Structure 1
């Protein structure tokens, strides 16, 4: 009897190590196993896992023409920021029940990410009208629970089932469109994402999440997720454009006052190693610890998500438009050269087709801090705006590709510290700008001190400057990021 109990305990411990140690997107460290885990019984079947990670950045940016920062004309700017802080926990008190919650902050800098109640002293003054940087609000990024109908691995034999099914509810990240639309924020290949992988970001979603019901699981080599959600309300008022600059066709704006549900899904064929799907976060690079080749397709749809005007007046009746997005992608993470050298190639490529309605366009950036037009500037300006802003999301198409090469262990003669150069390329076309193409690229590298658990990354990335509805030239930013994940 004791022998059977011991074998059962060891067997479950192996499964627990696999599900917990791998769950949060592959840390890429051979020494990091259970992490901050509290086992609530002698078998380990009941547990609580805590995760903490933070990302600090230093950035030197070439600013868009005619930019003022805090009212002072600037051609460039150096800033420091807390790009993200996360505290997450998930727990299983039964093999069939899982709950997960995450809180954190984003994008705190000298003049962004702060709260309105952060205090005027050192925060711009009592009459300051710009963005704030102090005392950012800690908020819930996601909170969901899940029930197992058919598990990935049989509870009794621990053998993998041909098909599995889980159902969950809450503010969740089990969304579709592409692999990168559910990307983990602590194992990026290239410091960050292109942003348009989250086409609804902080409009009708909350940092890529919506509230709803999801299904997920596997069927043979295919992993799938599907959800029906209630998008967050976005009501953009009608805009009357001044002549002679009124557009020939009205521009669609976010307005989902009709309150329609959304559906979203993604499925991927896994040719080699099977990825863990305990939690929704996909991995940017496995740092040579897994052999993966996946091809996937996904979509997002909601009715009456944007509007245009019948005519060019502020009181014009509105016309509703559906939001329809689909994508196809391929991800490869392929170690080679044997265990002694452990080279690895990482590659990801995705195509998005976005339809938000006529001429819909969103300009954006990461941490564009209290910028505006410089006084007395008479030169060319970007149609996207000031600071480091550029067109990122709109009705049209986008193609994004990134590649990385993990250099061999023998280079530094250590199994711990690893080097990984990478590069990215983006090509977009927006209906708003006709046949014009918009591109950007980046190049940089990762220094892994202990996989994704401790790393330093750096890169240079360009962005398009839009003049006369086309890319006239580019500006860029140099970024250094440090990350710790526990």
Structure 2
């Protein structure tokens, strides 16, 4: 009983100090913030996010669910569920923690545990200009959406190819890193040195050596990565590593960015004699452009645009199929190179161009029921291992009931199917689609 009373008192103290930033249409607080000093410069904040997917997938050829063939997959799942606690403890000390889970669906193990996405501590050496930090963190290099702010994604997903080592030698994009970040005038920068996690414990790839490149199972060298962007108009926040997908016309942003990632001997494959092992470096370079531009202040409409180019060298003919919250578990004898469910070649050695465009309709479109935002994106990849280019495209409509805090998204994705020709080349043979309705709630 005493423990209950103490917990209740602490909860009351926290919510008594919560900032209630209200709008005329809502009496609920827009953020949960506990002030540690009078002016609020020292604080603790709590965030919550839940993204629920209702989905129909036209499955890849030969797809099975635990041994049963199924061409048409219907499912409901938790794409992302996150709880965040972070804050400015002193004028110079900042901490950030995030835990939750991803991809909990009908085929997941029961009572799947939560795990930490982030746990870092940071010290401001020179305020705003340079901060140093360490821990399990998303302060990643390469490109803008290597560290996406999942609550403000323009569509259903950020471009997954930019999450270059996801769950192979990191933990859902996060890495054990020492990093530096800051803003020098209009230049925003981040640099990190990371210790790669063991690939032997990864379920994202086989550790069986072959003719084509894989991430090496040996203890790896340090991974060095960074991202720099020049902000022509409004400055973006760099309090956390995660970068917004859309500001819904609330900021006027135009940036040009460039980044890199490098790791010595990260990859390996067999030599032609099938006996010797050849090792190669992992090298990724990128440039990108982001803009969020209000069109009319009175109407409240705006456009969001993003474009990126990446050169990726994962070694000889490396390629990885990815299927977000894959609804299938395997393939039968009719399977193709894509593998099961909704997977398709997403990451590989070669060149990739990505483009995305969104249009926010005026605030009066749905009156008190919110507004609408349409989007379209496409990924075009010229991978060394594929005979044909990989072209994925998706589009949809966001119903912004309360901005990004409460929104309903209807989206459709079209993906290519690749399989071996009679000559042994990997060719695009057909296309499959996936329709998703996502309901997002966030604080």
TM-score by length of 2: 0.89
Tell me which residue corresponds to 1:317.
276
- 1:448 is aligned to 400
The answer on 1:79 being equivalent to 2:79 is: no
Q: Distance in 1 between matches of 2:26 and 2:429?
A: 47
Tell me by how many angstroms 1:256 deviates. 5.1
- Aligned partner of 2:323 in structure 1 is 365
Quick one: which of 412, 422, 446 aligns to 2:375?
A: 422
In structure 2, the gaps of 5 or more residues are 1-17, 201-205, 421-425
Structure 2 CA distance for partners of 1:449 and 1:186, relative to 1, 3 Å: same
Say whether residues 1:300 and 2:261 are aligned partners. Answer: yes
2:144 is the alignment partner of 1:179: yes
Distance (Å, rounded) in 2 between the aligned partners of 1:372 and 1:320: 30
- Contact persistence 2:63–2:328 (CA under 8 A): no
Distance 1:198 1:46 in 2: 32
> Which structure has the larger Rg over C-alpha atoms?
1
**Alpha-carbon distance change, 31 to 390 in structure 1, aligned in 2, over 3 angstroms:** farther
Residue 475 in structure 1 maps to residue 432 in structure 2: yes
Structure 2 match to 1:121: none
Question: 2:41 and 2:183 mapped to 1: Cα distance?
Answer: 22
Deviation at residue 180 of structure 1 after TM alignment: 0.9
**Which residue pairs with 1:384 in the alignment?**
338
Aligned residue number for residue 11 of structure 2: none
Contact 2:190 2:226 in 1 (8 A): yes
Residues 1:393 and 2:344 are matched in the alignment:
no
1:356 has 2:314 as partner: yes
**Alignment-derived partner of residue 346 in structure 1:** 304
Structure 1 range deviating more: 65-74 or 343-352: 65-74
Aligned residue number for residue 291 of structure 2:
332
How far 1:385 sits from its partner (Å)? 1.2
Match of 2:122 in 1: 146
> Which consecutive unaligned segments of at least 5 residues does structure 1 have?
1-16, 22-28, 115-133, 153-163, 241-249
1:86 and 1:34 map into 2 onto residues whose CA distance is 17
Separation in structure 2 between the aligned mates of residue 32 and residue 311 of structure 1, nearest angstrom: 65
* CA shift digits 1:330-363 (9 cap, x unpaired): 001000122x201100011111111011111111
Deviation at 1:386, TM superposition (A): 2.1
**Shift in CA distance, 413/238, structure 1 to aligned 2, threshold 3 Å:** closer
Q: Which residue of 2 aligns with 1:197?
A: 162
Report deviation, 1:30.
10
User: Is the contact between residue 438 and residue 470 of structure 1 (CA under 8 Å) also seen in structure 2?
Assistant: no
Cα distance in 1 between the residues matched to 2:166 and 2:283: 15
Cα distance change, pair 265–422 in 1 and its aligned pair in 2 (3 A): same
Q: Which residues in structure 2 correspond to 1:228-247 (within 5 Å)?
A: 228-235=193-200, 237-239=207-209
Alignment deviations for residues 70-129 of structure 1 (CA, whole Å, 9 cap, x no partner): 3222221100001111111112221100011111011010003x3xxxxxxxxxxxxxxx
1:58 paired residue among 54, 60, 84 = 54
Q: Give the deviation of 1:369 after TM superposition.
A: 3.2
Query: 2:208 and 2:32 mapped to 1: Cα distance?
Result: 50
Give SS of 1:458's match.
Answer: strand
Distance in structure 2 (CA, Å) of the matches to 1:439 and 1:46: 47
**Larger strand proportion, structure 1 or 2?**
2
Give, in whole Å, the separation in 2 of the partners of 1:347 and 1:485. 24
Partners of 1:290 and 1:317 in 2: CA distance: 55
Q: Does 1:458 align with 2:410?
A: yes
For 2:28 and 2:234, locate their aligned partners in 1 and report how far apart those are by CA, in whole Å.
Answer: 20
Q: Secondary structure at the match of 1:432?
A: coil
**Judging changes above 3 Å, is the alpha-carbon distance between structure 1 residues 350 and 45 closer, same or farther for their aligned structure 2 residues?**
same
Partner SS for 1:433: coil
The residue that corresponds to 1:49 in the other structure is 45
Say whether 1:88 aligns with 2:84.
Answer: yes
**What is the alpha-carbon distance in structure 2 between the residues aligned to residue 269 and residue 31 of structure 1?**
38
- Report what 1:4 is aligned to: none
Change in 2 beyond 3 A, CA 1:178/1:30 = farther
Where does residue 14 of structure 1 map in the other structure? none
**Alpha-carbon deviation of 1:373?**
2.9
How far does the alpha carbon of each residue in 1:44-78 deviate from its partner, in whole angstroms, 9 at most, with x for none? 23321111111100000001112222322222110
Q: Distance in 2 between matches of 1:368 and 1:312?
A: 36
Going from structure 1 to structure 2, the CA distance change for 1:151 and 1:34 (only over 3 Å counts) comes to: farther
Query: For residues 283 and 57 of structure 1, what CA distance do their matches in structure 2 show?
Result: 21
Distance 2:134 2:265 in 1: 24
CA distance in 1, matches of 2:365, 2:213: 53
Q: CA RMSD in A?
A: 2.1
Question: What SS does structure 2 have at the residue aligned with 1:341?
Answer: coil
- 1:409: how far off? 1.6
- C-alpha change, 1:60 and 1:34, in structure 2 (3 Å) is closer
| CA distance in structure 2 between the partners assigned to 1:454 and 1:273 by the alignment | 25
Q: TM-score, normalised by structure 1?
A: 0.81
Equivalent residues, number? 413
Matches within 5 A, 1:21-170: 35-112=31-108, 114=109, 134-152=110-128, 164-170=129-135
Contact kept? 1:179, 1:296, Cα under 8 Å: yes
